[in-house]
Amino acid sequence: MAVHLLGIRHHGVGSAKHVLAALEEIKPDCLLIEGPPEISEILKNVGDSQLKPPVAIMVYDSNNPKESTFYPFAEYSPEWVAAKWGNDHGIPIKALDLPAAKNFLKRRNKMADKSSEVSNELTEEPYKDPLSILAEAAGYETGEAWWDDHFEHSHGDSIEHFESVRQVMTALREEGLKSGLDQENIDREAYMRLVLTECINEMYGNIVVVCGAWHVPALVDLSVQYKNDQRILKKLPKQKVAVVTTWIPWTNGRLSMFSGYGAGIYSPGWYAHLWNQQDDGEIQWLSKVAETFRESKMDTSTAHVIETFKLARSLSIIREKHYVSLTEMNDAIKAVMCMGDDIMLQLINEKLIIGEEMGEVPDDIPKMPLQEDFEQVIKKLRLKLSAAPKQHDLDLRKEIDRSRSILFHRLEILEIPWLDRATSTNKGTFKESWTSQWAPEMMIAIIDKAFLGNTIESAAQAILIEKAKKSDKINELAGLIKQSIPAELFEELAVLLDKINELSSISSDIIDLIKAIPRLIEVTRYGDVRKSDLSVLNVIVEQLLIKVFTGLPNACYGLDEDNSQEMFEGISELHQSMRIYGNETLELAWFETLNRVMSKEGVNPIIAGCTCRLLLDAQQFDEEESDRLISYALSSNHEPTFVASWLEGFLKGSGMILIYDHRLWNLIYGWVSSLSQDIFMELLPLLRRSFAKFEFGERRQIGEKAKKGLVDQQPVLISADENFDFEKAASILPIIAKFLQVN
């Protein structure tokens, strides 16, 4: 019986090469790899041609997918390389470490202890490297650099390599150097020994253990620790946790972060390059760099590549290294290709050193139903999950684009941030633009939502209903309806509408209603493009409108300044929507309501002014009446502040009417000149508030007009040129009429 302990650095390319060589030499009949025992089963998938790294094993509690740990693998991760070898040679593979279930429980207990602190599930404590002490002594900047120099770039015999790793680690541990994870390691290593002992008892004759170098010394002598281990293991929490494991795609960007294996790597792209290239790796890397620069339109010649290579070599000689590391590469690239400038190196860092690769997971790996549905849907819609941003311009008249749009809207409801609305370059309701950028955490977010339903559709629906139940504002519900229509979630529409009905009957909040209706009206317009049945909605809108019609005048009574401002905006917005809605009976009723608001005593002048203007614009007054109304509002018996607010509401941010309507102009002109100096000074700030909102050009024209004073009421006939051809000019009138849709 022999146990071979291969101490590695997670994601270390050199370690991986040595592991492969050692496995070839040892030819074990059983392979143990660091990781919770739950993942043993799923490790069988390693080597499947459809499982393309970077991928990660996600270990989660099926009752609470949020509780999860990830074990990422790159193609050059020693664990991955070992598992692949094991599968290729058909030997059993087991994971040895503390079970994830125990970890979850421990974490839960810890959280309960100090519930105030909510730690991020994805990132555990950063790995404090005991090697750094050794590295400092040897004059290296980091422990990583020391390890790199001594173990990653050693080309000697692999068995000897692992023996020296064991000796170094044993020496370090005997020194009593602390690792940041010591406390955790006690439990973990006890369990590791347990698994290893079991394995030996199963009579495997030639066992290989691949684990983090730090753990190697702990696994050498099993019998000595046995009793102590039993005690430690007894103390571990024992509740049952339904742990599920699955493969999920990972990206290089995420590989460079801390996660389940503790060690994050800063340069996944560079490591992948080292793994794949045997000879001339440096030159090939530099030509990739040159290619990347050329793609972003920076002239980079072959001579640059040659010179960079020469400089990198010289640098590594000066730094007394026997290989060219990424540091030398970057320094040389900066000096030769980038004119000493760091900014361009960042491009290389993004594109090459980290890289944009994303892994793939075969379809037959067991998944959460929601995740499976998601993957099927995107496959059907021919969408790709890529880490690079992509723009989708959808034409909603096409079947597939419409389905995509539906999916995108549903994902938006699910709060999966894969897509972002982009501003469409093409105007028109049948066009939509989105940009997509995938990140692995989105898959986690999807798995996290798995409890909501088994399909994207049902999950989105569940969220909407959930939100609807919680909401007590019609406005919010209208927002939900607006979200659900483009997502074609009609089943819950009834629930939402019922809820609106229910709320509207008890709600006395007219502002809420006023704000909700425009949203609903917008939705009814959407319906046409999307071929969906919205007759119910129309009924609701009508009902709500009737409520507004009856309630509005009273709601406007006795409001203070702030609330009036809000009401004033709400009324303007609703007015716009009413014009769009195009239901004549309702429109007439609306005008009638506005009329009542306007003539009601005790309504804030800003609202009165606003309604007057809306009605005037809608040509609801004849000349005489409007004349009367305006002069009434401006009459000198009114408090000057009243008039000023009224004007603010009336002018509503547009001064055009003052320029073209001479009648109105004369009225206002007359009013202003009737003010005494004191009162004028007093009103100035108020007036300024309304006039300041006008366009600069408008203000200038008004100023010029004011210089001239009162205007002759008769519109001046523009004396036409003698050559003016009335007949020809008239010929375009029908076309213009057609555009304006007037007869």
Partner 1 sequence: MSILRQNAAQEFAEEFENLKAVDSGHIPTGWQMSPQSVVKYLMGGKLKNKFEIVPKYIGDQRLMEIAVATLTTDRALLLYGIPGTGKSWVSEHITAAITGDPTLLIQGTAGTGEEAIRYGWNYAKLLSEGPTPEALVSTPLMKAMQEGKIARVEELTRISADVQDTLITILSEKTLPVPELAMEIQAVKGFNVIATANNRDKGVNELSSALKRRFNTVILPVPNTAAEEVNIVKTRVASSLKTLELPAELPKLEEIQRVVQIFRELRNGVTEDGRTKIKSPTGTVSTAEAISVVNSGLSLAAHFGNGKLTVNDMASGLVGAIVKDPVQDAVVWKEYLETVVKPRDGWKDIYRACKELNIG
Q: Which residues bind partner 1 (CB under 8 A)?
A: 299, 301, 303-304, 307, 310-311, 314-315, 317-320, 327, 331-332, 334-336, 338-341
- Give whichever of 319 and 421 is closer to partner 1, judged by the CB atom: 319
Task: For residue 393, list its beta bridge partners.
Answer: 433
Beta carbon of residue 277, minimum distance to partner 1 (angstroms, whole number) = 23
The radius of gyration of the chain from alpha carbons, rounded to an integer in Å, stands at 37
As a whole number of angstroms, the distance between CA 645 and CA 567 comes to: 14
What is the phi/psi pair of residue 117, to 5°? -95, 115
Beta carbon of residue 319, minimum distance to partner 1 (angstroms, whole number) = 6
- Give whichever of 307 and 441 is closer to partner 1, judged by the CB atom: 307
As a whole number of angstroms, the distance between CA 324 and CA 317 comes to: 9
- Give whichever of 138 and 729 is closer to partner 1, judged by the CB atom: 138
Contact 395, 401 (CB under 8 A): yes
Beta carbon of residue 148, minimum distance to partner 1 (angstroms, whole number) = 17
Tokens at residue 716, please?
């001046």
Tokens at residue 445, please?
């977010």
Beta carbon of residue 126, minimum distance to partner 1 (angstroms, whole number) = 24
Residue 36: strand, helix, or coil: coil
- Give whichever of 294 and 689 is closer to partner 1, judged by the CB atom: 294
Beta carbon of residue 270, minimum distance to partner 1 (angstroms, whole number) = 18
Beta carbon of residue 285, minimum distance to partner 1 (angstroms, whole number) = 18
What single letter denotes the amino acid at residue 143?
A: G
- Give whichever of 307 and 569 is closer to partner 1, judged by the CB atom: 307
Beta carbon of residue 322, minimum distance to partner 1 (angstroms, whole number) = 14
**Cβ-based burial of 86 (10 A; exposed 0-12, middle 13-18, buried ≥19):** buried
Beta carbon of residue 355, minimum distance to partner 1 (angstroms, whole number) = 24
- Give whichever of 304 and 575 is closer to partner 1, judged by the CB atom: 304
Residue 391: strand, helix, or coil: strand
54 prior amide bond cis, ω within 30: yes
The dihedral formed by the CA atoms of 354, 358, 359 and 365, expressed in degrees to the nearest 10: 140
- Give whichever of 347 and 381 is closer to partner 1, judged by the CB atom: 347
Strand order in the sheet with 206-212: 2-8, 206-212, 30-34, 93-96
Q: How many CA atoms lie within 13 A of 459 on its CB side?
A: 28
Beta carbon of residue 267, minimum distance to partner 1 (angstroms, whole number) = 17
Beta carbon of residue 266, minimum distance to partner 1 (angstroms, whole number) = 17
- Give whichever of 272 and 315 is closer to partner 1, judged by the CB atom: 315
Contact 232, 190 (CB under 8 A): yes
Beta carbon of residue 141, minimum distance to partner 1 (angstroms, whole number) = 11
- Give whichever of 298 and 629 is closer to partner 1, judged by the CB atom: 298
As a whole number of angstroms, the distance between CA 50 and CA 365 comes to: 10
Residue 261: strand, helix, or coil: coil
Beta carbon of residue 25, minimum distance to partner 1 (angstroms, whole number) = 37
Contacts of 686 (CB under 8 A, 6+ apart): 641, 644, 645, 648
Strands 390-395 and 55-61: unpaired
- Give whichever of 317 and 588 is closer to partner 1, judged by the CB atom: 317
DSSP letters for 300-355: --HHHHHHHHHHHHHHHHHTT-SS--HHHHHHHHHHHTSTT-SHHHHHHIIIIIII
The dihedral formed by the CA atoms of 169, 173, 174 and 175, expressed in degrees to the nearest 10: 110
Strands 206-212 and 2-8: parallel
Residue whose pair of structure tokens reads 């392979």 in the numeric block: 31
> Angle at CA 643, nearest 5°, toward 638 and 646?
130
- Give whichever of 344 and 485 is closer to partner 1, judged by the CB atom: 344
What single letter denotes the amino acid at residue 534?
A: L
- Give whichever of 207 and 336 is closer to partner 1, judged by the CB atom: 336
Residue 360: strand, helix, or coil: strand
Query: What does the DSSP 8-state code read for residue 52?
Result: B
- Give whichever of 179 and 327 is closer to partner 1, judged by the CB atom: 327
Beta carbon of residue 342, minimum distance to partner 1 (angstroms, whole number) = 8
